[in-house]
Structure 1
């Protein structure tokens, strides 16, 4: 999607966790908005049911396991510049194997599919999914139970990166979390 003021292409990003308005990492989105590297486009939800769980330190993970979840996941859509994506990829640990940015189909949250006529067309965006190397283990660790929205009650468990233990990598924390009961 073209349109960046710096001539860059834009990517639609679906945020479902701490990047949403009112949550711990939204300050990054605000900084991207202030620098014209992101634009908020509205509330959306996934077009299919997916698992959303919390991992170590209350970090939310969307799992790329279609058909496994019980919920349509609610979140927000942003149009993000290439420069903004670099900042988001860094936060999400793309090169470290924490998350991977993959396609996702979403629709406006207010479209519940019950209106007369055609439902709103799905929008193709990208989302940060738990890395495939541990997604299934994360789902098993959650007991096959997820939630439809990362809300304030779940956010109470979130520990910011700077307050986490420094003696292990986050990937080590994920492995320990997945192997524990």
Structure 2
């Protein structure tokens, strides 16, 4: 496990979905690591349990309902300001897709609890996604589940992410 970089100009980000190694959006993490805008810290798990569900297009969503769901395994990265801006853009922070919120994680091999941030389903639809799932969450987002992920370029040309989330929620 790499040492945690706690420099003032970096941010620690917990990833649990398509940004993890072996999954589609990890290409962005590789690009950021190549430009020294990201570094892999290690494998971590949330201290508290959270719901993790699949939404439209096989997109994973962590939902900010601590105490529900499971403790979620993932990967921790240290990001520069440029790297963080790229992740925020991918995760649709300014367009209401995800919110970057505090979360406590612990290394897979034990150790101290670390306060970091992670991307959670936006509060406008997070709880509705949880109810849609029957309040049954995933224990992790695996490479097998990653095969259900539909790349942006393969989604309908006229799709609107938030509208499609609501359509997914309301479809029985």
Identify whether the pair has TM-score above 0.5, normalized to the shorter chain: yes
Structure 1: stretches of 5+ with no match in the other structure: 4-8, 112-119
Distance in 1 between the 2:108 and 2:139 partners? 12
Cα deviation, residue 150, structure 1: 0.5
Answering whether residue 134 of structure 2 is matched by residue 143 of structure 1, we say yes
CA distance in 2, matches of 1:168, 1:36: 34
**Correspondences of 1:35-114 after superposition (within 5 Å):** 35-69=35-69, 71-111=70-110
- Residue of structure 2 in register with 1:177 after alignment: 168
CA distance in 2, matches of 1:30, 1:156: 19
RMSD of aligned alpha carbons: 0.9
Are positions 1:122 and 2:113 aligned together? yes
SS in 2 for 1:153: helix
User: Quick one: distance in 2 between partners of 1:139 and 1:108?
Assistant: 26
Aligned length: 167
1:171 offset after TM fit, Å?
A: 0.7
Q: Separation in 2 of the partners of 1:145 and 1:165? A: 28
Alignment deviations for residues 77-130 of structure 1 (CA, whole Å, 9 cap, x no partner): 00000110110000000011000101010000123xxxxxxxx22001100000
Max Rg structure = 1
Aligned counterpart, 1:114: none
Give the SS at the match of 2:72.
strand
CA distance in 1, matches of 2:154, 2:161: 12
Aligned to 1:131: 122
Cα separation, 2, equivalents of 1:27 and 1:155: 14
The answer to whether 1:27 aligns with 2:24 is: no
Question: Matched residues in 2 for 1:95 and 1:84: separation?
Answer: 16
Q: Which runs of 5+ in 2 are unaligned?
A: 1-5
The Cα shift of 1:140 comes to: 0.5
